Amino acid sequence: MRKSILAFAAAGAATLAFGAVHAQQGPVPAGPSMDASKVTAGTYKTDPNHTQIMYSYKHLGFTQNMGLLSGAMGTLMLDPKNAKNDHLSVDVPVDTIHTTIAALDKELLGPMFFDTAKYPTAHFESTSVTVHGKSAEVAGNFTIHGVTKPGVINATFKAVGSDPMSKKETIAFEGHATIKRSDFGVKQFVPMVGDEVDMTITAAFQKQ
């Protein structure tokens, strides 16, 4: 019984302390909203620390191997009232590839695959945006390994709100796209190592 009373008292003290801190610093900030109508027009820049691309491909018909890219830098011009004014331009440093396998990372960055010494950056530039509620088809051009080809990112709105650290209006999206690496001159071991590469993108943009 004594242990229960002590535990209750400790929990109460912690709650009072938490309340006192926020009484000094102001109210607890509201969290992100999934209400897309709260998005405002303007120019947004990627938050490279919270934007990642996960890619996957079939390996010898057995496994679906995966890797990550990060550090995306770019601009999103957004007009909720007229998607014709929307525009996305993003660069991704290819040397951020991370598969958790050091030897594979080195191979992918080398001349056999992406040859990052010559082609350090992958780029996407939108040409049109078609909105369907909280989703959008972002058509544009991918430039990878020095080759430019058309493609589509299927994006879904996830959240909007004030970033509690930067205090900037922040928008989050999830995107999906599929490309064929052979279209970009990265043909090594096709078809044993899958030609199609599926990408899942989590992206945060902050208003400037």
Nearest to 179 by CA among 153, 157, 208, 201: 153
CATH 2.40.128.110 correct for 33-207? yes
Instruction: Say what the pLDDT of residue 14 is.
Output: 37
pTM of whole model > 0.75? yes
Instruction: Say what the pLDDT of residue 31 is.
Output: 81
Task: For residue 191, say if its preceding peptide bond is cis, omega within 30 degrees of 0.
Answer: yes
Instruction: Say what the pLDDT of residue 30 is.
Output: 65
Instruction: Say what the pLDDT of residue 99 is.
Output: 97
Tens-of-pLDDT digits for all 208 residues of the chain? 444 433 433 343 333 333 433 334 444 456 899 999 999 999 999 999 999 999 999 999 999 999 999 999 999 999 999 999 999 999 999 999 999 999 999 999 999 999 999 999 999 999 999 999 999 999 999 999 999 999 999 999 999 999 999 999 999 999 999 999 999 999 999 999 999 999 999 999 999 9
Give me the residue spans of the domains in the chain: 1-30, 33-207
Instruction: Say what the pLDDT of residue 12 is.
Output: 38
